[in-house]
Structure 1
Amino acid sequence: MPRTSGPETREKLIRAGEEVFAAQGVDGAQLRDIVRLAGQSNPSAVQYHFGSRAGLLDAVMAARQHRTEQVLTAELARAGDDIGLHGLLAALVRAEATELRTERGRRCLRISAQLSHESGVRTRTPHPTLDGTVYWTLIGRIEDCLVALVPALPEPVRLERIDLALTLVGAALGDRARQYLAGTTPLTGEDVFLADLAATTAALLRAPHPIPGDTA
């Protein structure tokens, strides 16, 4: 009977979780399918290793975050301290896009696209997998740029806008990952896609402060 303890089994469950969460969706994924795919006979294997379904999902996303965090750190170091809004977004997009290179990364992008709204930007309380990360620091730097570029933007609008921008990045990369996994040829090459995604997201963030009732 396969063991339900040890780091090897834990890693098998994470890998199985990546496949099932990507295929069935975060809300629709069945734990029994994850346990079976991981080769475990104990139906409580997920609870044993991760405490809950949410704990397994956090472990899946923490592994993905660890991979992209290293790339993002290097991207920001190359860019230097004077990097502006577009440069920050370009670094973020390039770092996240490294997950497109592998099937595992593509599956994780499909999952994280469903979780962008849980980052904690709107409440300034980072999700545990983001707390203390370079990614979370980058979000703060993006807000600092936005304060300077659109000073009239009220804080609630600013936070909501940043959250929407991150959701856009996640959704776009998740869709690109879906196309790669399905063997579909995207409309644009990857370099064009990533450059356009960074530019589009920057434009969204830099939009003028809206005046309620102004339809001009």
Structure 2
Amino acid sequence: MARTSGQETREKLIRAAEEVFAAQGPDGAQLRDIVRLAGQSNPSAVQYHFGSRAGLLDAVMAGRQARTEQVLAPLLDELGEDGGVRELLTALVAAEASLLADDRGRRCLLISSRLTHETGLRTGRLHPALDGTSYGRLIGRVGDRLGGLPGPVRLERLDLALTLIGAALADRARRRLDGTEPLTGDELFLADLVETTTAFLHAPVPGSA
């Protein structure tokens, strides 16, 4: 029998984790189910390769981020410093929506929709994993375009806007996985998501008139 390398085992565990985390949630997932789905006989395989459940989740999200970065980086470079909120959100939604192309990406959308508030935006400091990424730079540029908003309102709106985008794409991902027909086609859905989120970010602050 051919011996499986450590890297192959890690990849099997990551792919199994994507399925189990998507189905059971990152917190509710049973590690034994992940180990079994990955075809591993050692019940401590996750701890051995990733240190903990959190380490495995970090590896899943790192792979997810790498995929979207490949799409987002050139879009952000093309915009340069000229893009407004709508253009920046169009690039963000396009990159995130690229994960809808296959089941693996769809599962990652389901997982990450439950982790949106871990961006760190409400504290005014992005999560360290986002430092230096195209995603982090884009969020910073959107925030700069909203400089007329009071600081706390701006941070809260940005966080809620990302939550909205994540939830909307996760819903579409779930429908794809379940074979459920959505109400609208992808082109209209994504365009409407951009417009809705842009309007939300630009809404007047109550009592500011």
Aligned length: 209
Partners of 1:82 and 1:19 lie apart in 2 by 39
In structure 2, the partner of 1:78 is 78
1:170 alignment partner in structure 2: 166
Identity of aligned residues (%): 70
**1:89 is paired with a residue of what secondary structure?**
helix
Matches within 5 A, 1:36-115: 36-115=36-115
Corresponding residue number in structure 2 for 1:25: 25
Q: TM-score, normalised by structure 1?
A: 0.92
So what's the TM-score if we normalise by structure 2?
0.95
Which runs of at least 4 in structure 1 moved beyond 2 Å after TM superposition? 1-5, 77-81, 124-129
Q: Do the aligned residues in 1 keep the contact of 2:76 with 2:138 (CA within 8 Å)?
A: no
Q: Which amino acid in the other structure matches residue 99 of structure 2?
A: E
What is the CA–CA distance in structure 2 between the aligned matches of 1:139 and 1:191, rounded to whole Å?
23
Could you tell me which runs of 5 or more consecutive residues in structure 2 were left unpaired when the two chains were aligned: none
Partner of 2:140: 140
Which of 175, 179, 182 is residue 179 of structure 1 equivalent to? Answer: 175
User: Structure 1 residues 3, 31: closer, same or farther in 2, change over 3 A?
Assistant: farther
* Matched residue type, 1:18: E
Q: d(CA) in 2 for partners of 1:14 and 1:3?
A: 19
Preserved CA contact (<8 Å) 1:5 1:49: no
d(CA) in 2 for partners of 1:92, 1:142: 11
Structure 2 Cα separation of the partners of residues 39 and 174 of structure 1: 28
Relative to total residues, which structure has the larger helix share, 1 or 2? 2
Structure 1: give runs of 5+ residues left out of the alignment. none
Separation in 1, partners of 2:35, 2:152: 42
Partner of 2:129: 129
Q: Tell me if the contact between 1:14 and 1:59 (Cα under 8 Å) persists in the aligned partners.
A: yes
